[in-house]
Structure 1
Amino acid sequence: MSTSITCTSVFFGWPDGSPVFEGLDVAFGPGRTGLVGVNGSGKSTLLKLVAGELTPADGAVRVAGEVGYLPQNVTLDTALRVDEALGIAARRAALHAIEAGDVAVEHFETIGDDWDVEERALATLGELGLGHIGLDRTVGEVSGGESVLLRLAALLLRRPDVLLLDEPTNNLDLHARRRLRAAVASWPGVLVVVSHDRELLDLVDQIADLHAGEVTWYGGNFSAYEEALAVEQDAAERMVRAAEADFRKQKRELVDAQVKLAARKRYGQKMWDQKREPKIVMGARKRAAQESAGKHRILHEERLADAKERLDEAVEAVRDDDEIRVDLPYTAVPPGRGVLTLLDLELAHGARAGNLDLRGPERVALIGRNGSGKTTLLRTIAGELEPVAGEARAQVPLRFLPQRLDVLDGALSVAENAARLAPGATNNRVRARLARFLFRGARADQRTDTLSGGERFRAALAALMLAEPAPQLLMLDEPTNNLDLASVRQLTSALESYEGALVVASHDLPFLESIGITRWLLMEDGALRETDAEAVGRTRE
């Protein structure tokens, strides 16, 4: 039986009653599939259903073959040794025991046919750029990005038939992303990947577009999908324009018919009042006119209803590609005004930021390898960490959005979270502002712990950017993690409206280039230094 994933009439909903899938039918066969869709469409939920971490309320999920699953948020016990995290500790210990002369039967049973397990493990680590780690170190000694690759290495060593990857490039630096893309490009079995990384999605064989609870298939990689979708959307928009014109026409014809019928009615009443014909003749004529008027009205109303139905169908075929449009005048910083000063700043874990001046509405990209100290620098500037030496002095109101998005209280709604940071704003004012960030009506009342990763990010960004006093220095740590490509565009449009100084730590170079970075800072070898866009671009090659 060929390796495959089959979902048949799958129903799944959250405990609060909100449905995710209502009768989903989809199958994934051999090859690499990119699963795309807006945040909240159910991509991660579908992977969890396939992986067996969630159970459908109805329907069936069947997988032919062993499944390996890399979740969006990787958590490994920091006390584990690397070989334990890879799942090879028992076989490795048995191998070493035999090599030391212990020929107990249980050691041979533990190893089975896997005599080269240690060599395979080291080779896999080397392919993913983790050759320097070794098998005897602990997980606590590796960076967050390295722990993602370590979890992937464990999956590759298992050689599962089906590999599920949920936003695997989150927290990975440029070098690690290249390693992961190479692993995906060479994967021989069934692979389903959810990602906002365009370069990764351009390695897949087909795209599965999850939209409104259904999957539509597109052959080719993500670039081919975008081209096909653009053609579809152009056609859909033309259909909307044609349907709108027909709807307006039917409305006019209905009004014209009603005017004519009213005129006939007035004429008939006049003839009745003047009694110009016998009463029986006038009564028959009146009944015939009423019947004719009724049929005429029903005909036009049916035509109008049909036109409205065609218009609704045409509108539904056009994707909702809302963009954040918001004015933030109080965030403006005059050119040349001091925003942030670093004085001989030394950070925890040995990194040194030294001296730095940030002035006016500069847009700074903070880049560097995983574990180089970027997040530590941002947390120190935000006052969350004490510096080892020196000082970080902000001269304007600042806000920091960390990767964890822990500025939100999950038990509160989106509106309540925003109101916490703007206590002087009225409820109407908070809701009007949130609507500009696409949280309209009941969406603003949704608890933040029920939001998707991208929606939570948008809620956190809205709360910070609408805070009082308005932040004139905004610091973002890996903001495109967990965002689909539509949400990245929304983030970009929101930052276009921001007039203050911006510091963004990110490995996502296309995103950094899209938001108008004016200054590049590289954290490398324990020190912060200036670089430029050309030097950064060369690291991608």
Structure 2
Amino acid sequence: MLLLQNLTYIHPNKDLLFENINLSISRHHKAALIGNNGSGKSTLLKIIAGLLAPSEGVVKTGSVPYYIPQIFGQFNDLTLAQVLQLEEKLTALQEILGGMVTEENLARLDDDWTIEDRCRDALHFWQLDGFDLSQKMETLSGGQKTKVFLAGIFIHQPDLVLLDEPSNHLDMASRQLLYDFIQSTSATLLVVSHDRKLLNLLDTVFELSKRGIAVYGGNYDFYQEQKRLENQALNEDVRNREKALRKARDLERESAERQQKLDARGRKKQEKAGVPTIMLNTLRNNAEKSTARLKGVHAEKVGSIAQELTELRKELPDVDKMKFGFDPSQLHRGKVLVTADGINFGYDDRQLLWKQNLDFQLTSGERIALKGPNGSGKTTLIRLLLEELKPSIGALNRADTKAVYIDQDYSLIDNRLTVYEQAQRFNESALQEHEVKIRLNRFLFTRDTWDKPCSALSGGEKMRLMLCCLTIGNQAPDLIILDEPTNNLDIQNIEILTHAINDYQGTLVVVSHDQYFLEQVNVGRTIELE
């Protein structure tokens, strides 16, 4: 069981991250924790794991949680056994088996005589056969490091497991193992993830935001439907407020015009009646005060409605605001862009990468997934498509096309530039300064971010700036290649990327382990590498 009561966390610099968080997860329950980048999801997991102390509030777990972090660099100097907190127990077992049956060794082993068998079985399940528990973590890939921590669940058999983006570095086969584990385990789970296939395997969604935690009693698809209904109601509220604001402004104008006519008519009557000047001035002052009061009443009402409308608009999702807006006139659907005829590649005359030579065509308007396990040569094939490499055998013919490569680190963004300078670098059509800034605003880069260095941008911000730069370039590229585009993005930014890509009419080649994303961008064909 997990219980959080009135949890608050304030950064050391005194910035409030979240406050009065209340959350309850019953035993054997499986829950997702989602929220935009910066909302505090990873921090909340660390607090539950006991790695951070809350500023206020209470955490009750009932047992020691098992925590799998998102980042592993801090463990590079440790062995697998040290990371899994097994070193003492394994050493004690070996010494006992070697004849050193001491009280200290028996206490360290704690009657766990099957520890070696569980380690072997756990490593085997996660496809880590042949790995030595004494080897350093730095010798492993990102996916292998994740699987070491996942193996620890089988070894320690905890009641409560906390997972922070567990599928980030996993290939398709390893992700399937993770999905199978999540479906079969009886442990209580709290998972931070942007992997929507994984999120659909969980019972409840907790959404963390500045307003606290909202609970949705279903999987991610259920959550999305509820959010759609909420946003529908929100849009209706916005429309009603906009209508009320127009009506209030019309009434304000009509009242002002009517009052002006009444005042003018009254002055003419008073002048005709020969009212003394001093009395006329008094009457005029009274009329002006009455008009000012009336004007103030209407201005207050208009201001109140306008403020309500502003607050409502802040709640609107950002997804639909961002579209590529390309001029697609040069894209001719069905045109052959690339033809590969029996190609293969080998580095430094070593063995060729692929078991079978590759034959394929890419035509304009297609959406293609490039799949294969880690080390299968996906990046090499991308470099061949971009003409950065030439095939060792076979022929690769590419039409005169404009291609854009967007990797998971958004390397087209120059970290030495500011946001505005980066946008200007793509301004080939000589848009005026205010037009460039309008485009930046459309992609959520407001005035206070234009001078921000690109090096300070998050993954989601870099993605949005990259999309914005492509729209400033105006002419649609014939080919966009996306390499693991969702790895560093939260769900909100993945949806922004998905909507923008679906607005693009050219050819798309995607390398991604995120099957849900591939389905959402309407991939129609797969090139498998072995």
TM score, norm. by length of structure 1: 0.80
Q: Hey, what's the Cα distance between the residues in 2 that align with 1:32 and 1:468?
A: 45
Deviations 1:345-383 (A, max 9, x none): 234586326243434324321112344332344356557
Residue in structure 2 matched with residue 339 of structure 1 by the alignment: 338
Deviations 1:237-288 (A, max 9, x none): 2222222222222222221221122122212322343343466775665565
Q: Hey, what's the Cα distance between the residues in 1 that align with 2:187 and 2:329?
A: 51
Pairing partner for 2:452 from 412, 423, 446:
446
Of residues 462-471 and 353-362 in structure 1, the stretch that sits farther from structure 2 once superposed is 462-471
Q: Hey, what's the Cα distance between the residues in 1 that align with 2:516 and 2:157?
A: 33
SS of the residue corresponding to residue 403 of structure 1 reads coil
Cα separation, partners in 2 of 1:80 and 1:43, compared to 1, 3 Å: closer
Given that 1:33 and 1:193 are in contact with CA atoms closer than 8 Å, whether structure 2 keeps it comes out as: yes
Q: Do structure 1's residue 297 and structure 2's residue 295 form an aligned pair?
A: yes
Pairing partner for 1:356 from 359, 365, 376:
359
Q: Do structure 1's residue 402 and structure 2's residue 401 form an aligned pair?
A: no
Q: Do structure 1's residue 413 and structure 2's residue 423 form an aligned pair?
A: no
Given that 2:481 and 2:510 are in contact with CA atoms closer than 8 Å, whether structure 1 keeps it comes out as: yes
- CA-atom RMSD, angstroms? 4.0
Q: Hey, what's the Cα distance between the residues in 1 that align with 2:175 and 2:476?
A: 36
Percent identity among equivalent residues?
31
- The Cα shift of 1:76 comes to 7.5
Residue in structure 2 matched with residue 92 of structure 1 by the alignment: 90
Given that 2:17 and 2:39 are in contact with CA atoms closer than 8 Å, whether structure 1 keeps it comes out as: no
Residue in structure 2 matched with residue 365 of structure 1 by the alignment: 369
Of residues 39-48 and 475-484 in structure 1, the stretch that sits farther from structure 2 once superposed is 39-48
Q: Hey, what's the Cα distance between the residues in 2 that align with 1:299 and 1:390?
A: 80
Cα separation, partners in 2 of 1:62 and 1:479, compared to 1, 3 Å: same
SS of the residue corresponding to residue 327 of structure 1 reads coil
Pairing partner for 2:481 from 475, 484, 500:
475
Deviations 1:81-105 (A, max 9, x none): 6445433233223323322334344
Residue in structure 2 matched with residue 378 of structure 1 by the alignment: 382
Structure 2 spans left out of the alignment, 5+ residues: none
Deviations 1:61-116 (A, max 9, x none): 74645343333344486786644543323322332332233434443233223222
Q: Do structure 1's residue 520 and structure 2's residue 516 form an aligned pair?
A: no
- The Cα shift of 1:491 comes to 1.7
The residue identity in structure 2 corresponding to 1:25 is: I
Residue in structure 2 matched with residue 217 of structure 1 by the alignment: 215
Residue in structure 2 matched with residue 327 of structure 1 by the alignment: 325
Q: Hey, what's the Cα distance between the residues in 2 that align with 1:460 and 1:51?
A: 36
Q: Hey, what's the Cα distance between the residues in 1 that align with 2:331 and 2:243?
A: 47
- The Cα shift of 1:497 comes to 4.2
Q: Hey, what's the Cα distance between the residues in 1 that align with 2:325 and 2:272?
A: 68
Given that 2:338 and 2:396 are in contact with CA atoms closer than 8 Å, whether structure 1 keeps it comes out as: no
SS of the residue corresponding to residue 69 of structure 1 reads strand
Residue in structure 2 matched with residue 528 of structure 1 by the alignment: none
The residue identity in structure 2 corresponding to 1:447 is: P
Pairing partner for 1:240 from 238, 241, 249:
238
Residue in structure 2 matched with residue 37 of structure 1 by the alignment: 35
TM score, norm. by length of structure 2: 0.81
Of residues 107-116 and 417-426 in structure 1, the stretch that sits farther from structure 2 once superposed is 417-426
Q: Hey, what's the Cα distance between the residues in 2 that align with 1:423 and 1:279?
A: 69
Q: Hey, what's the Cα distance between the residues in 1 that align with 2:421 and 2:331?
A: 28
Pairing partner for 2:189 from 163, 188, 191:
191
Cα separation, partners in 2 of 1:243 and 1:66, compared to 1, 3 Å: same
The residue identity in structure 2 corresponding to 1:132 is: D
Aligned length: 518
Residue in structure 1 matched with residue 258 of structure 2 by the alignment: 260
Given that 1:409 and 1:417 are in contact with CA atoms closer than 8 Å, whether structure 2 keeps it comes out as: yes
Q: Do structure 1's residue 130 and structure 2's residue 133 form an aligned pair?
A: no
Of residues 94-103 and 47-56 in structure 1, the stretch that sits farther from structure 2 once superposed is 47-56
Cα separation, partners in 2 of 1:489 and 1:79, compared to 1, 3 Å: same
Cα separation, partners in 2 of 1:466 and 1:110, compared to 1, 3 Å: farther
Pairing partner for 2:500 from 494, 499, 508:
494
Q: Hey, what's the Cα distance between the residues in 1 that align with 2:163 and 2:175?
A: 13
